[in-house]
Structure 1
Amino acid sequence: MQYNYDFEIASLLIMTIILLHFVFVRQFPGEKTRVFGWLLFVCEAECLMNILSCVGLANAALVPQRLNEVLAFAFFVLEGASSYLVYRYFMAACAIRGRERTVFAAAGIIPFAAFLVLVAVTPVTGFFYYFSDGSYYQGVGADYGYAYIVIFFLLDLLIVVRQHKYTTLRTKVIVCAYTAVAAAMIGLQYRYREILCTSVSNTVVLIMLYLQIQNPVVFLDTTTGIGNGTAFESQLEDRLRRKGEGYVLTIHLSKFYHIHTILGTENSNELLREIGEYLYDLCGKFHVFHTAGDAFTVFADTKEQCERLKCEIQKRFESDWVVQENRIALDMETVVQHYPMDFKAMAEYYGMREFLLENAGKSGAQVIVEADADMIAQYRRRRKVEIAVARAIREKGFLVYYQPVYSLKERQIVSLEALVRLKDPELGFIPPEEFIPLAERDGNIIHIGEQVLEQCCRFLSKHVLSNGSLGIRTIHVNISMVQCLRQNLTETIRPVLESYHIPPSMLTLEVTERTAIGAPERMLWHMHELGKMGVSFALDDYGSGNANCSYLIHFPFQEIKIDKEIVWASFHDKAARIVLENEIHTIKQLGIPLIIEGIEEREQSEAMEQLGVECIQGYYYGRPLPEQECLRYIRTFQEKAQNDR
């Protein structure tokens, strides 16, 4: 048979160009790079063997049969290896990990090993091919070679389907395109045995992989010329997969955005390039990455190297950087993580890194924070709390406790403050001061606020509206800055009130000073819109921060709640007493009702009454209680107060 190998020659030329570029252009090491290198070499060798074999068979009279047998044998071995290596590359690209990696590896090695065994015995059995009188003939198992390739097509697609959540779109497209082109080439080869075109599919996948995934440009930061975040993730994943040991140092440039504003983009980029060059010279090739606009990350392979880098980096940042004759003092925080002791996966690395950076940011300039047992325990506790919050949101597991607000004038409980609580099956009761800041940071406080409001409205509808003897006229619900930043706050509150037939006048939204000053225009807009409905606003924790009378002037609060810390301080500190008395006098002069928090003893209550305070909140008049316990407490308290009159 006379073979047409024009497609193979074209494929060989293209693969040679890719191979030369791959060899002479800097490649970031890693599993994908190693597998791609082998794949590229094997595919080119397979194509070359196919061409040489065809030339040898066409000139059988001149070429010894033994050489043709060697060429045919080499081609089949390489053909089996190329399909297997494509599969192994997709395994690496699709982030197969853990037990699944073992399963998928076995799923690939079994047909590959079987294929190699059949090729090895073919010179004796003639399974794939045999020679007779110097001529080449296909054996009885020739079609198995096509079936073998189809098996790997199916395995490639299975990887993408199984890992679709963790696989990039471009990888999915490459797998599907490769499968389609390869299937077409196999069909053409099967129909027209004399046309050799199997290397076309290999060339297509190599081009797509090199341009989209393996291209070195994809891993370079355009500003600094060093590795970027993609390169860092690839390198770290490879290090974790090899189960080695090492250190990751993240250098965060504090307030770099201020410097960028002052210097401008061009000079800021020049500064980043200088830092990148310094770290590159200090740490070496493939160890330095510009992972964010204001962050660099470096690898250290040993503890000694890590200690040296920490000292050198800290010393360098204590000196100025010079850009266009401008001397710039840069503050930085460096966090050090030791793998696999501190983390074993990418998600854990990123979570712990952010936690460490938060701690470093509280410690001043040029600080180095290294993960230790306590910090790791704190981080893992926080992760558990975050998981507990997410679970409670999903399962509507938040509890609402109610704390009474007592009127000194009316001598009875007149309102309640709704306080959210969380009891997790694993962690037990989680303090609000622990989970609320995390929920605010993640935006989950919005969902918590919605659940709390609905529970409060259900409580009012079921137990308060129809029971005037309780004396409860309003309920106080806290709202966070995250909620206030939403434009549709009114639209989220109104339907809940209407669905439970709650008069808006029964709802008072408590806002902290931080919330008020964090988004003043949006806050005023919400107060106006909700105020038109009849909803009231109270300024909570007044006196806990930088509170001053300007908040009382600019925001139409209907109530002021003075923070318990300043109240407690006033009982044993003369200066605090003077401040508190003046605050109370000012607020009363403005005609705004006042609530004092933190009252725990009778003497404290009497002292506040002498200052003309209207309402009291604190353990002396009732602790936060679950719904039913709160109702029983209020009934007992009100009955006793009625009898005392």
Structure 2
Amino acid sequence: MATPPDDRLDQLLELVVELASGDTGARMTPSPAADEIDAVIVGVNMLAEELQALNGDLEARVTERTVQLEQAHLQLERLALYDPLTGLANRTLLGDRISLAMAHADRGAAPPAVLLLDLDGFKAVNDSFGHPVGDLLLVEIGRRLREMVRETDTVARLGGDEFALVVVDAGHEQVLAMAERIRVALQAPVQAGEQSCWVSASIGVCFAVRGQDAATLLRDADTAMYAAKNGARGSVQVYEPRMHATALSRVLLAEDLRVAIADDQLLVHYQPIVDLTTGRTTGVEALVRWEHPERGLLAPAEFVGVAEDTGLVTALDRWVLRTAVAQLAAWRSGFLRGHEFAMHVNVSPIELRTPRFAEGVLDCLAEHGVPPGDLVLEMTESHLMGEDAGTLSALEQLRTAGIAVAIDDFGTGYSSVGYLRRMFLDVVKIDRSLITGLDTDPQQHRVAAAILAIVDAFGLEAVAEGVETAEQAERLRALGCRYGQGYLWGLPLPAEGMTALLVVSAAMNPP
């Protein structure tokens, strides 16, 4: 009987081909013969098992790496498009959303509106409670903003304490109503950790027009926001084209001021402070002026705000201090030798918070040989409302050295009586608004009497600003106010003119 043909070699060849083509699940069953061919079949099957296991492991690793890459991509996208602190959109994503809304407007939809918000008082929170509390405040502000907009709108944090909203498919009245709701909501206290923080928001609104790009729209909203800040803080301002011209003018003025400080275009004028009992001039206030090469003599109100916004106020304040102290030294070396006399110099809150501020003041006095007791540093009450540890430390250092500290424009802030309790104060300068009408209005007389009584109760000296008539001066004297300042005794004068007046005063009132 003939032996059937053995086709195992052909089957084995087919198995190798299948495995080579990628079918790692292919297998071949050995025959009962259990000979050398079957041994090869078993070996190939074992190799196939290893290949299949290896292939499965590789596929699992590829899947895992793919998931990791996708997650990394999402994380990078989030970092690129979202603010890591608040989870809000960032400036990049905001620009994309504005561009998308403008593209829809080009196809017939209503153009979007952009609201830009800047928190008023945020720096005081950071300075008083620290940056962790400030971060919690920003997160809570972001949450409130998200709750007040629709799902179709975008809320973004641009950095620092600036937020922006893109409002789509809404009319002007709807947008302004939303801005007002936000303004009111942000006036409520915010709980940041264990601290209750009070801030407000200055809001600029810009309604887009077709064809406008995202950068221009944001710029105009920012311009409107600064108009709100420079006006009544915590208000809403709608962008108008004239605002851009004003903003550009401020930029140019800042550049001119930078040159003016370096090129000695600034001047100091001096206004007398007079003892109401004796009529003797006991001090002067140094008031900066700017001899602009094209615009003529500029008063502080025309450029100090620009200096504060651009960071130039520190250089400006230091220049005024050096000039005033040098002038005082010159007077002291001559006709004012032995006389009671003080130089009043205004200090911005920015300068007050700079490192080594107190040391710089003391070095300036030492350089010119002026005793610390001859200097009075003035700061407005509203600027002291955000006092921080650095400010208080500087004030304490100044007081310890013998330099007096005065609150300027007293009566125009929010916490006047509370500030009179502070241990760093020596002088209270009563704002002119409380002096106007003192000689004709009985109500104003009673208000002035009450304020002077409070100042006296805290053991402080009072200087009445804005005194214009002899009757006002006499009523202030009768109420116990010791010093006055105002047009009654003359306008602020350059050093030469003030020197002439002081020579006469010194001669009439010898030490």
Normalised by the length of structure 2, the TM-score is: 0.63
CA distance in 2, matches of 1:376, 1:452: 31
1:511 is matched with which residue? 379
1:600 and 1:334 map into 2 onto residues whose CA distance is: 40
Q: Which amino acid aligns with 2:324?
A: C
The reply to whether residue 397 of structure 1 matches residue 268 of structure 2 is no
1: CA distance between counterparts of 2:201 and 2:342? 50
Residue 92 of structure 2: aligned partner = 230
Match of 2:48 in 1: none
Q: What's the counterpart of residue 336 of structure 1?
A: 206
Change (3 A) 1:317 1:471: closer
Give the direction of change, closer, same or farther, for the CA distance of 1:582–1:458 in structure 2 (3 Å limit).
same
- Alpha-carbon distance in structure 1 between the residues aligned to 2:330 and 2:202: 56
Counterpart in the other structure of 2:116 = 252
How far is 1:578 from its partner? Answer: 0.8
CA distance in 1, matches of 2:227, 2:412: 23
Deviations 1:385-424 (A, max 9, x none): 3233322233343211111111233332121111111222
Q: Equivalent residue of 2:303, what SS?
A: helix
Whole-angstrom CA distance in 1 between matches of 2:181 and 2:485: 54
SS class of match (1:404)? strand
Counterpart for residue 408 of structure 2: 540
Alignment-derived partner of residue 328 in structure 2: 460
Equivalent in the alignment of 1:502:
370
Whether contact under 8 Å (1:259, 1:268) holds in the other structure is: no
Name which of 205, 211, 221 aligns with 2:82: 221
User: Alpha-carbon deviation of 1:601?
Assistant: 1.8
Let me know the Cα RMSD of the aligned residues.
4.8
1:278 aligns with 2:278: no
Distance across 2 between alignment mates of 1:259 and 1:533: 33
Question: Does residue 384 of structure 2 align to residue 384 of structure 1?
Answer: no
Which runs of no fewer than 5 residues in structure 1 stay unpaired?
1-210, 238-243, 281-287, 321-329
Paired residues for 1:356-505 under 5 Å: 356-360=224-228, 369-373=238-242, 375-468=243-336, 471=339, 473-505=341-373
Contact 1:337–1:371 (8 Å) recurs in 2: no
Separation in structure 1 between the aligned mates of residue 341 and residue 433 of structure 2, nearest angstrom: 27
Which residue identity does 1:554 align to in structure 2? Answer: R
Q: Which of the residues 402, 425, 440 maps onto 1:572?
A: 440
Q: Give unpaired runs (5+ residues) of structure 2.
A: 1-71, 100-105, 123-132, 183-199
Mapping of 1:544-555 within 5 angstroms?
544-555=412-423
Partner Cα distance (1:340, 1:428) in 2: 42
Measure, in 1, the Cα distance between the counterparts of 2:468 and 2:144. 60
1:507 aligned partner, one-letter code: L
1:609 counterpart SS class: helix
Q: For the Cα contact (< 8 Å) 1:220–1:228, is it kept in 2?
A: yes
Q: Summarize deviations over 1:361-392 as a string: whole Å, max 9, x none.
A: 7789996713233x334323333332333222
Q: Does 1:598 align with 2:460?
A: no
Deviation at 1:570, TM superposition (A): 2.5
1:635 maps onto 2:496 in alignment: no
- For residue 625 of structure 1, give the secondary structure of its aligned residue in structure 2: coil
2:206 corresponds to which letter in structure 1? V
Match for 1:251: what amino acid?
L
Rounded Cα–Cα distance in structure 2 between residues aligned with 1:408 and 1:366 = 41
Q: Any idea what the Cα deviations from partners look like across 1:319-369, whole Å, max 9, x if unmatched?
A: 99xxxxxxxxx999552266899x9996x8766533301345778999671
CA distance in 1, matches of 2:424, 2:157: 48
Richer in helix (by share): 1
1:545 shift after superposition: 2.4
| CA distance in structure 2 between the aligned counterparts of 1:562 and 1:319, rounded to whole angstroms | 36
Identity of aligned residues (%): 23
1:549 and 1:273 map into 2 onto residues whose CA distance is 38
Q: Post-superposition shift, 1:496?
A: 1.0
Give 2:281's aligned amino acid. Answer: I
Query: For residues 497 and 617 of structure 1, do their structure 2 counterparts lie closer, same or farther at Cα, with a shift above 3 Å needed?
Result: same
When Rg is computed on C-alpha atoms for both structures, the one with the higher figure is 2
Q: Is the 8 A contact 1:416 1:472 kept in 2?
A: no
3-state secondary structure, aligned to 2:440: coil
The residue matched to 1:383 in structure 2 has which SS? helix
SS of the residue aligned with 2:398? Answer: helix
In the TM superposition, what is the alpha-carbon distance from 1:459 to its structure 2 partner?
Answer: 0.9
* Contact 1:464–1:472 (Cα < 8 Å) also in 2: no
TM-superposed deviation, 1:312: 5.9
Asked if structure 1 preserves the Cα contact closer than 8 Å seen for 2:97 and 2:166, the reply is no
Structure 1 residue 488 displacement after superposition = 1.6
> Relative contact order, CA 8 A, sep 6+: which one is greater?
2
Cα deviation per residue 1:407-456 (whole Å; 9 max; x = unaligned)?
23333212111111122223333331232233233332221111111101
Answer whether contact 2:98 2:166 (CA < 8 A) is retained.
no
Cα-to-partner distance string for 1:465-504 (whole Å, 9 max, x where unaligned) = 2333694621111112222223422111111111111111
Q: Which whole-Å deviations, capped at 9, do the CAs of 1:72-91 have from their partners, x for residues lacking one?
A: xxxxxxxxxxxxxxxxxxxx
Are 1:524 and 1:555, in contact at CA under 8 Å, matched by a contact in 2? no
* Secondary structure of 1:568's aligned partner: coil
Contact 1:562–1:596 (8 Å) recurs in 2 = yes
The answer to whether the Cα contact below 8 Å between 1:470 and 1:635 also exists between their aligned partners in 2 is: no
SS class of match (1:486): coil
